[in-house]
Amino acid sequence: MSGFASLVWRELRRAWAAGGLTLPVVFFLLVAILFPFAIGPEGKLLARVGGGVIWAAALLAALLPVERLVNPDLENGVLDQLAVRGWHDASVAAAKTLGHWLGFAPTLLVATVIAAALLNLSLDQTRAALIALLIGTPGLAALGVATAALTAGLRGAGAVAGLVMLPFAVPLLIFGAGAMEGDASAMKLLGAVSLVLVAGCPFVAGAAMRMGRG
Amino acid sequence: MSSPRLAFENVACLRGGRLLFEGLSFALEESGAALVTGPNGAGKSSLIRVAAGLLKPAAGAVRVEGECALLTEAAALDPELPVAKALDFWAGLDGRREAAEAALDAVGLAHLAPVPVRLLSTGQRRRVGIARVVASGAPVWLLDEPANGLDHAATAMLGHLISEHRLQGGIVVVATHLPIHIPGAHGVVIGEAA
């Protein structure tokens, strides 16, 4: 197994061990369940806001594991040991991003099918939601790792992480929710935003990890 | 392997606006050893981190030829994993998975291989860290307080491992406040005695 693959595998294993596989999904479903209670059981209204609800829930679910993505490795000296072995911080961040995405996205997609039923989404809407999430979640994962690196070592990092991450996730939210309404150009813009985040965030996270070490 | 080398040239280290040491120069050739001593807070750990390339020196230059293996206060072992698996992860990254078992044996912890890391005592965790250094096969060892938490037998074992490493041409830098005997080590004293 190559070094990169074993780093990704380690991230996945840690996600499973920390309940990372189930917790965000349960949280995601809970938000989807709460909405019909809050705005009433009117089918048309639910179907109209459903896409937005799913995106807001996915955003919050991706935020849940942020505290354990980088901070434990910083405190435990794992980042030091990787740096001594000549690992570039951005490569480590990229491995973390891939591991984080594999940890939460596939189960989130399965949960989306359930949430779509709860929110009275049509079959077309559900399909659009799944495609949009498939395109958008890598961007969310990259943003999560960058946020985790920026807030690593802070006390109360969880709350600060929300403040750092959510504004940057607004473009994903706008185009993601737009793409669910079958808007093809929104889908393309969602892909563009996600790609920018996936390409840029590892460098931001890497720089933050380097600063944290100094 | 090509002969390892480690040289500090007029190195200064600045931490949090405080000058820890400056004008520090020494060079280690094949089989060389340096024993860094000084009072608490003098910058022993910072010196090790500078040597490992984790900290940039405020002035001067550090030249290292050969891979480094680092031992610090932080264990860098996943607490929920069994000892052997946690060590295998690093040995695998170093491309020396086959060396992990022998290294664990060398620090006398072969019987703890299936025990989760979180159940280890301070000294045992430190010994697994030493096993990682041994398994890495790196020619330059940078050890920060390697004897912390070790009992007499384990300290003797550490001394033995260090001399074996030097016999094979390796370089060792040890920062410590405990009396570790390293024959022929270059003494580096930093900070004034408080």
Quick one: pLDDT at residue B194?
43
pLDDT digits (tens, 9 = 90+) for A28-43: 889 888 888 888 888 8
Give the C-alpha distances (Å, rounded to integers) separating B117 from A129, B83, B84, B111, B130: 42, 5, 9, 13, 14
Residue B77, chain A, CB below 8 Å: the answer is yes
Q: What is the pTM of this model?
A: 0.91
**A34-38, A154-158, B49-53, B126-130: lowest mean pLDDT where?**
A154-158
* Residue B192 predicted with pLDDT over 70: no
CB atoms inside a 10 Å sphere around CB A66: 27
Give the fold, CATH level 3, of B5-66+139-189. Answer: Rossmann fold (3.40.50)
Report yes or no: B79 and B57 within 8 Å, Cβ to Cβ. no
Interhelix angle B99-106/B122-136, nearest 10 degrees: 140
Mean pLDDT in chain A? 89
Percent of chain B with pLDDT over 90: 70
Quick one: pLDDT at residue B136?
92
Domain limits of chain B? 5-66+139-189
Residue A78, chain B, CB below 8 Å: the answer is yes
CA dihedral over B116, B119, B122, B127, signed as positive or negative: negative
Percent of chain A with pLDDT over 70: 99
Task: Give chain A's length.
Answer: 214
Question: How many Å apart are CA B80 and CA A94, to the nearest integer?
Answer: 24
Quick one: pLDDT at residue B7?
92
Residue B6, chain A, CB below 8 Å: the answer is no
B142 interaction partners in chain A (CB closer than 8 Å): 84
Are residues B92 and A81, on separate chains, in Cβ contact within 8 Å?
no
Residue with more model confidence, B107 or A41? B107
ipTM associated with this complex: 0.91
* Residue A5 predicted with pLDDT over 90: yes
Q: Which two tokens stand for residue A6?
A: 């074993």
A86 interaction partners in chain B (CB closer than 8 Å): 67
* HEC profile of chain B: CCCCEEEEEEEEEEECCEEEEEEEEEEECCCCEEEEECCCCCCHHHHHHHHCCCCCCCEEEEEEECCEEEECCCCCCCCCCEHHHHHHHHHHHCCCCCHHHHHHHHCCCHHHCCCEHHHCCHHHHHHHHHHHHHHHCCCEEEEECCCCCCCHHHHHHHHHHHHHHHHCCCEEEEECCCCCCCCCCEEEECCCCC
Amino acid residing at B194: A
Quick one: pLDDT at residue A159?
83
Residues 6+ apart with CB under 8 A from A38: none
pLDDT digits (tens, 9 = 90+) for A10-29: 999 988 887 767 888 888 88
**Mean per-residue pLDDT, B53-60:** 91
Amino acid residing at A189: L
